[in-house]
Structure 1
Amino acid sequence: MAEYFKTFLKTANHLLKIESDEYAIKAISFVKELEEPSDIQPEILLKAQKELQKYFDGDLKEFSLKLEPEGTDFQKKVWALLYKIPFGKTWTYAEMANKLGDPKVIRAAASANGKNPVAIVIPCHRVIGTNGSLTGYAGGLENKRYLLDLENRVANGVMELF
């Protein structure tokens, strides 16, 4: 098994744990406590820190990170589809299932969405309930709301400080 490395990004409102092997990002997650980062920091971890900081600053809409999340083939198919949701836009779970080619996979797609190990970069936060409600987010609904609000402000050119 490949060795994994970790680092953290602390913003004004969030603490993110970023994990990788030597070449690709494996996971990004919201955490409550800072841990000891890895002694070795591969370039991909440093790049992820920089890109995520730019995202939170409102200066980045598209990530250029190599991703290799671990999951089933179906999960990876869902995550690849999530990656295509445009910045500042949202899809419903029903739209996601339809884009997968089968409206009946809505629950399986929602489950795969919830197991996305690469928060923010694979934008599972951009999937909302059919009625427009903010439903389920592994990083917490307050973080989902924050990310959607941030993207909406950036997409509309309104980056007030708060």
Structure 2
Amino acid sequence: MQQISKITDSLLISNSRSACNDELLHHEGITHCINVSRQQPFPSLKISTLRIAVFDDPQENLYDYFDLCADAIQDTAQGGGRSLVYCKNGRSRSATICIAYLMKHQQLPLEKAFQIVKAARSVAEPNKGFWSQLQRYEENLMATQSKMQTN
């Protein structure tokens, strides 16, 4: 089944099959795609794209891309656009990126951000390695926020 799940008004998540359905993208008003995979194709629609070339492997370093992706999603939203984040199954890699965005730009704790993504897309489940990277990201975001509050 082809499906794009809405996390926020400007952030959506799907698998690669749905992400490459130009009719579905057009219907959802997608203006930016983040492809979190090494092999999955991009849609043929002329929209902005970003590839994060990682496998769904707990050893992969997705952490280094959290800020880049979260900021790209935020910039797209502020410009009135909508971002679609996808990987092969729309389960681990794409969910991880969406959670990182919610943590950074909506100041949500990891657990709450995960619940929101899971509610939008029931199969969402970051692998153990990505989950531990999200935990480290949460610690770093909290440390940065507390530094900003003391200055």
Please give the range of the TM-score, normalised by the shorter of the 2 chains: 0.3 to 0.5
Higher relative contact order (CA 8 A, sep 6+): 2
- TM-score for the superposition, normalised by structure 1: 0.32
More helix by share: 2
Whose radius of gyration is greater, 1 or 2?
A: 1
